[in-house]
């Protein structure tokens, strides 16, 4: 009897939430790339690479969310990844002193 019970599938988040969320991260990544390039030039700083990765991943997540709505767990993991990439330059700068 209990073998046939399946756990419920995780519900996707609301339709508008991923678009706004990943759109915000795209803007944050693009502004970080612009500020890093303006401040340091194209010397290959960690901030430039890190914010470029944030922009590209957020754009990828945005496009993926348009085809299939992510679950709350997917959103949390992706947010944690993007947040870690944003703070990577600060962490490297803090520990290098």
| CA atoms in the 13 A half-sphere facing the CB of 62 | 16
Q: Which helix (H) or strand (E) holds 38?
A: helix 16-40
Does 19 reside within a domain? yes
Tell me if 4 is assigned to some domain. no
9 located within any domain: no
Q: Is residue 54 part of a domain?
A: yes
In a domain, 90, yes or no: yes
What's the total number of domains in the chain? 1
| Tens digits of pLDDT across the chain (97 residues) | 556 666 666 666 666 667 777 788 788 888 877 777 777 655 557 777 888 888 899 888 888 888 887 888 888 888 889 888 888 877 877 777 6
Q: What is the DSSP letter of 14?
A: -
State the residue range of the domain holding 21.
15-96
Query: Considering the entire predicted model, what is its pTM?
Result: 0.67
């Amino acid at each position: 009897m209990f073998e046939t019970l399946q756990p419920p599938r995780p519900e996707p988040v609301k339709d508008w939430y991923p678009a706004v969320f990943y759109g915000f991260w795209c803007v944050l990544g693009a502004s970080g790339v612009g500020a890093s390039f303006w401040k340091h030039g194209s010397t290959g700083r960690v901030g430039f690479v890190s914010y470029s990765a944030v922009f590209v991943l957020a754009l990828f997540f945005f496009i993926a969310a348009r085809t299939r709505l992510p679950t709350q767990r997917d959103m949390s993991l992706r947010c944690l990844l993007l947040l870690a990439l944003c703070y990577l330059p600060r962490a490297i700068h803090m520990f290098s002193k």
